[in-house]
Amino acid sequence: MIVVIQRVSEASVKIEGAIKSAIGTGMMVLVGIENEDNQEDISWLSKKIINLRIFPDENGVMNKSLIEVNGDLLLISQFTLHASTKKGNRPSYIKAARPEVAIPLYEKLIQTLEFDLGKKIGTGEFGADMKVSLVNDGPVTIQIDSKNKV
């Protein structure tokens, strides 16, 4: 799994013109799922996301986690994170998992994040045409690949 984490002061996702989810201070996380992903990737990423110290402490140093600031989380599926652009100008998405593999993993990631965070998170809708809006705070943007954890 690849995630792109953005520290936000607010974020929302619209589907067919209606707001599906909206959050205040916290993280907007894009997630790309590939065929080899499994429960180990989900568990590792969930812990990494909620404990990542990217929020300012009282001295303005990025030293606090999402849990410590009681922040919100918006999780959006995005298969294009697995785009390969090595050949030609049209990206290939061969590494992105098909919906029958990706949807159960996406749903399990939602459940795991909610359990680890101790509250509901906002989500998009897998496979939907979504309009995502956010105010990137910092800006702070971090990419993590669960296959590069060592």
The domain that holds 69 is classified in CATH as 3.50.80.10
Q: Flag whether 129 is in a domain.
A: yes
- Is 25 an annotated catalytic residue? no
The 10s digit of each residue's pLDDT in 3-30 is 999 999 999 999 999 999 999 999 999 9
35: containing domain? 2-136
Spatial separation of the C-alpha atoms in residues 24 and 37, rounded to whole Å: 30
Assigned domain for 19 exists? yes
Give the pTM: 0.94
In a domain, 150, yes or no: no
111 is catalytic: no
Low-confidence ranges of the chain (pLDDT < 70): 150
> Is residue 141 assigned to a domain?
no
> Of these residues, 6, 78, 112, 123, which one is catalytic?
78
Query: 3-state DSSP call for residue 100?
Result: helix
Closest CA to 71 of 122, 112, 32, 109: 122
Select which of 80, 111, 141, 143 is catalytic. 80
Residue 147 within a domain: no
In angstroms, what CA-CA distances link 148 with 67, 95, 113, 134, 144? Answer: 24, 16, 20, 27, 8
What's the domain count of the chain?
A: 1
